[in-house]
Structures are given as structure tokens and as C-alpha cells.
Structure 1
Amino acid sequence: MSRLIPWEDENSLTSLINNVFSDLQQLAHDRDYIVQRALISQTNHFVDEVNDRVVQPFPGEEITYYSYDSIENNINGLYQSHFLNSISPCGLPLHKLTLKLGSPIILIRNLSPKTGLCNGTRLLCIGFYENFIHVEIVNVSSSGSKIFLPRIPLTSSEDSRFRLFL
């Protein structure tokens, strides 16, 4: 059932999260409950805030993954990592990702269409490791499959339109 929640102030986001995930404390590990709910945003900044607030009520310890940002041939150290971590270009993941066991993930890239890992695939976190996340696919024909999502290195090409200028 869809409901309209008007934006009045910052408490509106809390109302939205509480409405979408109304029984999260009792049903956090119920795959059917989790797969039927999602909050989607148009901007990376808002995604980061919503993710932090949705993950908090899940039981268990938070695990935070950070990107490894650097620039090749940065001999003079002009591009510091804290500056690189503050950039959030469209289409690229955020610098920080906080998760808990049982928390949902929605892929934003086609990683392996043959195995069902496509843009929009819903996953549940079932394990955390230094360089990968153990997940279970929950919403496609491969539902129930358990896979490892590795860290993926991203580099810009020489003809990239996203460049930093001095």
C-alpha cells in the first residue's frame, strides 16, 4: 500500500523511514519483509543520509567500508585523500558504506548479468570481510544464491570528462 508523506521538515525523513520499515525491529531478518521495501533517491548525498538512518535500527554491529582514493602520478601530493573522498560524482559510489548483518543492498551496476547481478538486484548482507561482502540474492531468478561482492577498482580513462584542474 502506498502512502503520501508530505515533506515538512527533517522529521519527515524519519516519518518516511518509520513508515516504510515499520516493523524492522521484529522482522529485520525476514527476507520477504526486506525485499518488499526500498527507499530510492536521486542524489548521492541524500542516499548517504538515508542509508545511515535505515541501517541504525538493524540489530548487530555496524561495519563500515571506505574507498581507497588516490591519484596516479600525484608526485607533489596536490590531491589529498580527504579532498578526493569528498567528491561524489554522479554514477560513482560514495566514499563510505555502513552496513549490518541482514541489511539490504540494491546494486547500481551490472556486475554479472549471467548470475543475476544486475542494476536493481536486491541483496541481503550475510557476512563481512576486508575486501568483500558476502550476500544473498533475494529478488531475481537466482534468488537464494549466495555470492561474494568484491571491492571493485575504478579508474578514469584518459578521455574522461571528469577531471580536476588546478
Structure 2
Amino acid sequence: MSLGHGSQDIHNVQLEKFAEWLLQIGDGLLGDSTDGESVNRIPDNLLLDIESPCLHDLVLFIYPDILLLSSSMYYFKGRSILTPTLDVVTEVNNHVMSLIPGNERVYLSSDTLLNEDGHLEYELYTMSTKSLNALNYSGIFQHRLLLKIGVPVMLLRNIDQSNGLCNGTRMQVRRLGDHVIECIILAGRNTGEVVFIPG
């Protein structure tokens, strides 16, 4: 057995134990329960050892040495930050983006309302382009997408399921074109494949 393979086995066992621990917390099987409240001890390796942590501390905890390693496909493969709201997603994304070197590229959605055959609802006429572009709801893509080479991205729509391009696919940006974004898939059966996403 090679050293690399053994370390992967250790990682898999640790991941399995962590998943078990999360499930037990979710099922209410861990902790001391008194008066409907439960106290659970979080392992030290999952805690930020900082008195008043901020977003920057969290990002550096999850992505240590981001400046040195962000170009590696494997760096982002096992790391992610889950957030409670879309506004926090935007804040985290912008902060991580600011740490990665390189030029930013902005992609904008179409912001013109079309009235084909008179089937457009009256309510849409009352919304300004500015208010439509400011929408930030689950299921509606943001008007402004800011990207850099090397940043991790996730698909929010099924594009080509047979080739692994479905909702939730994690990728890393390799090139930014005018109308296409080249990415490499980070997880699943298509890991390592280069794909092109319409921009």
C-alpha cells in the first residue's frame, strides 16, 4: 500500500466519523438534554480558536494558504463554506474572490423584458430593470456574476446531465471567454474533465 493511498483511507474514515457525528446531532442522539435543550461538544479541530472571529478568519480557516494553492484543482475539491442566506453567500464569495490573484471578469444577465405575442404579464411592466437586476432569491440567478481564473463555482441548473453538468456540480474556472467559461469538474464521476459553460 502506498503512502498516498493510506492517507486517503484515513481521510475516508475521518469523513465517515464526522458524517456519523452530524447525523447523531441531527437525530438528537448526542448531548445532555435538559428542559428541551441539548448541549453538544464540538471537536476542537472544527472550532476557530479566535476570541472574535470575522469572515476573513473563517475563510482562512477553511482555505489555508489560499494564495499559494488556489490554482490546484485538489485544493477546492474538499473545502466549502455553507451559509444560511443568499446575502451571506454573496459576501463570502466576494471575500474569497478578493483573496485570489488575477483580473476579474464580469458577466451580466440579459435585462430586457420581451413581450412575445402579448403574453407578458402586466405585473412585469411595473418593475424597473434596476429592481429586476437587484433580485437575490433562490432559483433566480443574480444579474451580475463576477469571476476570476482559479475560483470554485457551482452549477445551479442542469445543463448536460449525461456529462456531469447538473445542479450542484462543483467546478474550478480555467479560462474566461466572452461567451463561454472553461472549467474543470472537481467531484463526481466526471472529476478532472474540462467542460465549457455558456457565459
TM (norm. structure 2) is 0.66
Equivalent in the alignment of 2:46? 3
- Match for 1:117: what amino acid? L
Is 1:105 matched up with 2:153?
yes
Task: Tell me whether 1:88 sits opposite 2:136 in the alignment.
Answer: yes
Tell me, yes or no, if structure 1 residue 30 matches structure 2 residue 72.
Answer: yes
Partner residue in 1 for 2:88: 46
Aligned residues: 150
**CA deviation after TM superposition for structure 1 residue 55, in Å:** 1.0
**Residue deviations 1:83-119 (CA, integer Å, cap 9, x gap):** 1111122222212221111111122222222101122
TM-score (norm 1): 0.78
* Counterpart secondary structure, 1:72: coil
Unpaired runs of at least 5, structure 1:
152-166
- Structure 1 counterpart of 2:197, which letter? L
Q: For residue 28 of structure 1, report the CA deviation from its aligned partner.
A: 1.2
Bigger relative contact order (CA 8 A; separation at least 6): 1
Higher helix share: 2
Contact 1:51 1:98 in 2 (8 A): no
How many Å separate the matches in 2 of 1:13 and 1:80? 33
For the Cα contact (< 8 Å) 1:48–1:94, is it kept in 2?
no
1:19 paired with 2:19, answer: no
Q: Give the letter aligned to residue 4 of structure 1.
A: L
AA in 1 matched with 2:55? L
Q: Work out which of the two has the higher radius of gyration on C-alpha atoms and give 1 or 2.
A: 2
Q: What is the letter of the counterpart of residue 170 of structure 2? A: R
Structure 2: gaps (5+ residues): 1-13, 15-44
The AA in structure 1 aligned to 2:83 is S
SS of the residue 2:56 aligns to? helix
Does the 8 Å contact 1:62/1:98 carry over to 2?
Answer: yes
| Matched AA of 1:3 | L
